[in-house]
Structure 1
Amino acid sequence: MQHSGIPVSAPSTRVLVIVPAWNERANVAETVAEIRAADARYDVLVVDDGSTDDTADVARSAGALVLVLPFNLGVGGAMRAGFHYALRHNYQAAIQVDADGQHNPADIAQIVAALTTADIAIGARFADVGTYTAKGPRRWAMVLLGRALSGIARTRLTDVTSGFRAAGPRAIQQYVDYYPAEYLGDTVDSLVGALRAGLTVTQVPVAMRPRRHGQPSQGAIGSTIYLLRSAFALLIAVTRPASSNVQEHSA
């Protein structure tokens, strides 16, 4: 199922915006400000993933809640810590927004709104919105992953590597129980685990923006290699026994 043009109203549930950040002092304050401007009722949690700069202080000064990890775990580890916080504090929805400015906080409301019909809502590129493109082996790997996971999810998914995704109550619990720390495992492998645990997924077309400052942790070549590895890892992931943990929790 894909949502487009969803009528978005004021959120009736408590929403936690989780911002994983590693050495993002140049970007994090503006990202926090944009999230708060999108809706003042969002709670913003910056998870400082072992930064060696003053990311935590900058985020705190911008008005965010800050969780500082003692060393760098990667996006998956930072997000899992954020989901633990969401579960402990009884949030009904949690959504990842990257600190580098690529995710537009104005899209948070429509992604969270899609949780009325699914446990997980992905803000998807390659869904007829925006100008984001990928070429060569990187694009082939993304198409392969999208098609494979579309088959498992029984709905069209165009961007299974997008980190711009929201989780409802059952998905928050699932992600506390299982959320890989390795690069792309937090998107692809975590989605496989959720689907095999019986959770449902939808996507919302969004446009991604360029990174504001600095360089991504993985360059184009590194990202392509990891995507190809993820395609292989997907074949292994789908053979794992399905988890029944989530079924024990009420929605």
Structure 2
Amino acid sequence: MLKILLIVPAYNEEENIVRVCRNIRENYPQYDFVVINDGSKDRTLELCKENRFPVISLPVNLGLAGAFQTGMKYAYKNDYDGAVQFDADGQHLPEYIDDMVNEMKKGKDIVIGSRFVNEKKPFSLRMIGSHLIASTIRLTTGFKIKDPTSGMRIFNRETIKEFAEKLNYGPEPDTIAYMVKKGKKVSEVQVKMEERIAGQSYLNFSKSVLYMLRMMVSLIFIQNFREK
């Protein structure tokens, strides 16, 4: 049986963190998990300690990339076979991890939990960015990813090592595209995701637009200058 770690970056998730981690611990004990408290200003860290959740607390807010790399360093140091990027807001459902692990066992380096393998992507304002990013990835790599903005992904042992040791490896679509260009095998499996129940996403409308623009610039220009 593979040794799997769920990396749970958390910034000001006091309204969600207990529910999310208890669900993993009580219903999916076959997976280990670690909360990366990303400099939260609320009671996230306190609640993790009260409930004895495994937690690494960063002294300042590093953002998703820094928090996730911290989790990957932990996964690499502790010799995990796979590491799952898993949101602290309750949108990701652990019942789909088995499918992702089974896909990884087929020789995949990265498996994306995709909302759109078997279901059609809606053409809505919310999904315009996803459509554009998916089209740009296909244009620049020749590889089709149906749900590039999904934040639920599993990485195999070799990929964990890369994320742990190298800088500028954020868990974002541009890095996934870079991995494709390097010859990594990427796949998608169908999952469902819940809406956020409590708390507020850091991505409001203006931040979502800036995020999309940053991804487009990175995919079209910056990725061409990264080492293969």
TM-score between both structures, scaled by the size of structure 1? 0.82
Alignment of 1:52 onto 2:41: yes
Distance 1:161 1:133 in 2: 14
Distance 2:111 2:45 in 1: 28
Shift of 1:48: 0.1
Shift of 1:25: 1.0
Instruction: Find the counterpart in structure 2 of residue 91 from structure 1.
Output: 80
Distance 1:76 1:66 in 2: 17
Instruction: Find the counterpart in structure 2 of residue 170 from structure 1.
Output: 158
Instruction: Find the counterpart in structure 2 of residue 128 from structure 1.
Output: 118
Which letter maps to 2:42?
D
> Could you tell me which of 27, 31, 43 is aligned with 1:42?
31
Instruction: Find the counterpart in structure 2 of residue 193 from structure 1.
Output: 178
Instruction: Find the counterpart in structure 1 of residue 198 from structure 2.
Output: 213
Shift of 1:43: 0.9
Distance 2:121 2:17 in 1: 22
Alignment of 1:140 onto 2:89: no
Shift of 1:108: 1.5
Distance 2:122 2:115 in 1: 9
Distance 1:217 1:178 in 2: 26
Which letter maps to 2:191?
V
Provide structure 2 residue ranges, at least 5 long, that are not aligned to the other structure: none
Distance 2:67 2:194 in 1: 22
Distance 2:141 2:219 in 1: 14
Shift of 1:44: 1.0
1:11-160 aligned within 5 A: 12-117=1-106, 118-129=108-119, 133=122, 135-136=124-125, 138-150=126-138, 155-160=143-148
Which letter maps to 2:96?
D
Distance 2:226 2:202 in 1: 32
Shift of 1:120: 0.3
Aligned residues: 227
Shift of 1:109: 1.4
Pairwise CA RMSD:
2.2
Which letter maps to 1:207?
K
Shift of 1:116: 1.4
Specify the SS of the correspondent of 1:47. strand
Which letter maps to 2:213?
L
TM-score between both structures, scaled by the size of structure 2? 0.90
**Are the counterparts in 2 of residues 119 and 199 from structure 1 also a CA contact under 8 Å?**
yes
Shift of 1:46: 0.1
Distance 2:151 2:91 in 1: 10
Distance 1:21 1:134 in 2: 30
Shift of 1:122: 0.4
**Are the counterparts in 2 of residues 47 and 67 from structure 1 also a CA contact under 8 Å?**
yes
**Are the counterparts in 1 of residues 110 and 154 from structure 2 also a CA contact under 8 Å?**
yes
Provide structure 1 residue ranges, at least 5 long, that are not aligned to the other structure: 1-11, 244-251
Alignment of 1:227 onto 2:223: no
